[in-house]
Homo-oligomer: A and B are copies of this chain.
Amino acid sequence: MEKTRIYNPTTLHFGRNAVDELSADVKNSGKKAFLLYGKSSIKHHGLYDKIIRLLHSAGVEVVEYGGIKSNPIIEDVNAAAQLGRQEKVDVIVAVGGGSVIDSAKYISVAICGDCDAWDYPTRKTIVKGAIPVFAVLTLAATGTEMNPFAVIQNVTAGQKVGWGHPMMYPKHSYLDPENTFSVPQNYTAYGVVDLIAHSLEAWFGFGNASLSDKFVISIIQEAMEAGPLLLEDLHSYELRERIMYAATMALNGLTMYGRSSGDWGVHGIGHVLSLLYDVPHGASLSIAYPAWLSLQKTRIPDRIEELGCKLFQTDNPDDTIYKIKSFFKSLGSPINLSEVGIDIAQKDNIIKMMIKEANGSNHRLSAKDMEEITDLMFLG
């Protein structure tokens, strides 16, 4: 194992009506809440009204910013931060999936730093403080509810970046599986892909971590058992619960303890696809992961073989890659670029952007590798 520090300050409330505890928790932290959300769907399902009621009953004033996009953009973050500063909000209540909660994390540090939020991931400034974030999760996927990371895109700069700071852990997160009932089938599938991809990024990271490896396998198995059942029964509390809990565990540190880093090469590629063509995050990963594995199969055969033995009782890397791809396909998540409407004419454009933006992988990718992965992503 690599030297490891384990510390996670988020309090996670999990289960039916978990959000009821928001009232008392926020009351202890502030008087004016900044309520962030995305599409108006939370208004249709009663969650918005419930949260307003909970905040008012705690005597907390509410300022709102809605309409955060599903691939969140820095312009929204900066506009919200400006409003938050003006209104002197002292807590943030973020209601949504990864996009809203990730935006909330940037808004939190941008309010305190009185700066352009883009200055943080581009290292032009450092974090000076953060407003406490209370996250009400409505989509099981990214794990942002219990980690300090956040992804944001800057269309002008042509970048989609992941970045984090220890002050960006949510203070409290509220996870009621019922709040994910209305997530449609395709986004439910993308969430399952995303949590498996997070587990794999840990698996292919640096450092021997025997027990953390077992936890990775446990999480992937949980997702592979519950995911397909859930897609047949979107209102099953038990199945929503299993996927929601697995998604949190897939990126709250647990799979990473004892490693110096994860791989994150596939996430880099996925971000490029989202940036260029607005491909949903999970969908980009079900296209990119099999392609990346095919490239790596002769380079890290042992690690792919071990994965195959544990997950599928096969020591043949081709077999393992085929089974992972087939699983994503069975969920209805795309496994090649044509399925998301990207034409072969875009190939050079994708490769160029991948070389520019997606080279942060643990297992370094050359320009030629990027070309090969892109070919593989078109083949599917």
User: How close is A114's CB to chain B, nearest CB, in angstroms?
Assistant: 28
User: How close is A18's CB to chain B, nearest CB, in angstroms?
Assistant: 7
Answer yes or no: A23 CB below 8 A from chain B CBs. Answer: no
A211 near B2: Cβ-Cβ < 8 Å: no
Count of chain copies = 2
Which of B9, B14, B221, B254 is close to A1, meaning CB atoms less than 8 Å apart? Answer: B14
User: How close is A43's CB to chain B, nearest CB, in angstroms?
Assistant: 26
Answer yes or no: A242 CB below 8 A from chain B CBs. Answer: yes
Given the interface pairs A211-B242, A218-B215, the reply to whether A4 lies near B15 with Cβ below 8 Å is: yes
- Chain B residues within an 8 Å CB radius of A211: 218-219, 222, 242, 245-246, 249
Which of B4, B12, B15, B226 is close to A7, meaning CB atoms less than 8 Å apart? Answer: B12
Answer yes or no: A5 CB below 8 A from chain B CBs. Answer: yes
Distance of A7 Cα from B7 Cα, bound (Å): 10
| Additional pairs, 16, CB under 8 Å, beyond known A3-B14, A217-B218 | A1-B14, A1-B241, A3-B16, A4-B12, A4-B14, A4-B15, A5-B14, A7-B12, A8-B8, A9-B9, A208-B238, A211-B246, A214-B219, A214-B221, A214-B222, A245-B258
Interface residues of A (CB under 8 A from B): 1-16, 18, 146, 208, 210-211, 214-215, 217-219, 221-222, 225-226, 238, 241-242, 245-246, 249, 254, 257-258
What are 17 A-B pairs at a CB distance below 8 A? A1-B241, A3-B16, A3-B18, A5-B11, A5-B14, A6-B14, A6-B146, A7-B10, A8-B8, A210-B225, A210-B226, A211-B222, A211-B246, A211-B249, A214-B222, A215-B215, A217-B218
